[in-house]
Structure 1
Amino acid sequence: MKLLRYGPVGSEKPGVLDEGGKIRDLSGVIADISGDVLSDKGLAQLSDLDLESLPVVEGEPRIGACVGNIGKIMCIGLNYSDHAAEAGQPVPKEPILFMKATSAVCGPNDDVEIPRNSRKTDWEVELAVVIGKRAKYVTEEEALDHVAGYCVANDVSEREFQSERGGGWTKGKSHDTFGPLGPWLVTRDEVPDPQALNLWLDVDNVRRQDGSTATMVFSVAEIISYLSQFMTLNVGDVISTGTPPGVGMGIKPNPVFLKPGQEMKLGVEGLGIQLQKTVQA
């Protein structure tokens, strides 16, 4: 299934994409794409629905983040060896963990703000994982059973705030609109191997990133297991799993960063496409 949320900011309704690409309204069945809906039982109940019997959503509504009521967003740094190289960093021996504020989350096609006083706002296409079952001290073999589904993420980052101002990465990752998610939450049964997905990103129609999750340093299963040794992953938590090479700071000899008035287009194989314009905050 491809689950989504549509409507104005703060008033999104749950929906599902049918085989013809039409949005079907789920608001008569569930309140949101969150909580118990993301459990195996909840997803099984949705999969049993006759989608043709659900109301069609007319027009082209705004698409919101594909999951609601996110508890926490965990992110993995330098999880592609060639991205670590372009960043001038060694390949990590253990996953590098940081958090992105949930207030950064926005829809996949919403405008992305360039923060005030920013000089180095950058792009990062990533595979994101949405947790569907509480995970604590899980093994790698068990890990993927705790996934509700997968989606596209753009881990927008202000590099100066992140790396040149001290005090950790979070403030360079958490400006409003720095966390576009979606367009869809694709349930795990439709993603048999999360380590075999192509992902890409264009800026103003120039291909900047073109990679594959096959080259991750730490796999999705390894990441979930690792995180669960240090914290409980709850239903609806999101994990952003790292970005392939091609980010702005890695362009040699002169790094390239985002300015207001630009366009980012990005996607992950089978998970949909995002399209954002940059605006001044």
Structure 2
Amino acid sequence: MRALNLQAKPLSLAERLADLAVDALIDEADLSPKPALVDRRGNGAHTDLHLGLMHASALSLWPAFKEMADAALAIGGINPALREHIGRIGREGEQAMLATTQGVNTHRGAIWALGLLVTAAALEPTSRRASEVTLRAARLALLDDRYAPRPLSHGAQVALRYGARGAREEAQLGFPAVMQRGLPQLQRSRVQGHGEQNARLDALLAIMTGLADTCVLYRAGEQGLHTMQSGAQAVLDAGGSASLAGRRRLHELDQQLIALNASPGGAADLLAATLLLDRIEHDGILQGAF
């Protein structure tokens, strides 16, 4: 009688990229203490979200991320066909997410950002540097999707009203909030020995200092945006989340944003993008697959 073969089947590239995307969303949700965002402490400025819902939402998106990566591998180039294909997959993924959350928008912006990055990573799997992946994602985001619904999202409406960059423009520019603020701060805090959780908090704060977060603008206007940006900078100036002074400032920022009902959901999505790009660059399983 043959012994059972208990060796795990190797993951495909698309499966591994989907794993990394879901892991990034879950790690972003778990990260604590985030100002006015859902985390392990509670619901932040939200009344309709909680940590379990964020986890369930992230897991529901795994098939969509895998399909996007598979589409990139099948089509093989940046062209309108790929753009429209991943657009359709993203809309189907959004419907799966909403079915899971009973209509609550948990990760709509993240589907766009992380979906583009997963697709871009799959297109050239040996070209994994964050700068290379975001450049391909930007080229893809610049293409039109003929089948995309045209009504403006809340974020797009706010971006138009305030002259801010929305999620679409952020992607089309190659994710500058990630490349110029999030990733450099993540790496800087690691080098300084702040610990991984504090490094991720500092990366989120760095993103918040310069982002015209449309979620904050929608919920709290320009006052909320100014409070977010200046408060995040104050935390970093005080030594970051690894310092006692920085933690005090972080607590103050949390209370101020909750009082304004201002939740920086756009910054949270870009932190997840930061974590995903960091893992694509350094993931040992991905490196062994190429």
Same fold (TM over 0.5): no
For normalisation by structure 1, the TM-score amounts to: 0.27
TM-score by length of 2: 0.27
Bigger helix fraction? 2
Structure with larger Rg: 2
